[in-house]
Structure 1
């Protein structure tokens, strides 16, 4: 370690030691109300039930129901939630934002 005027310099942490890490991206950018990004509890429900639940929790969501065998783009959209369903209209994958 380098010494300055007979004193040792110490590296101090930039944040307080008792402060925990952010739990989600919204905490990192300063929001006190973290937004839900996935709905695993909807797997096995119908697409209509899933759409209703997602709209309750994220009213601005652009919801897309994806039937079996359909192709989708790989781009990310922060307001889009895709609901993948099987032939009987049951949700088969966790709906997530993207």
Structure 2
């Protein structure tokens, strides 16, 4: 999976390398790879409605650890 979006390229759909990174940095990196998605930042444990959205990446952060990314961000 690569960033970009040229002909024949797959769009990136997960960012495991961002786990443990500051939330603002992760947000910027996801936006750089996928400017077409919404990126809500949520504290771990926040209840979210079920359902898949191919234009969303939920970014879950630890409230007690300086808002570092807690879970692998994925499209959905």
TM-score by length of 2: 0.84
What's the CA shift for 1:32? 0.7
Q: How does 1:31-46 map to 2 (within 5 A)?
A: 32-46=8-22
Q: Show structure 1 runs of 5+ residues with no match.
A: 1-22, 24-30
Larger Rg computed on CA atoms: 1
What is aligned with 2:23? Answer: 47
**Paired residues, what number?**
69
What is aligned with 1:80? Answer: 56
What is the root-mean-square deviation of aligned Cα atoms in Å?
Answer: 1.5
Q: Show structure 2 runs of 5+ residues with no match.
A: 2-6
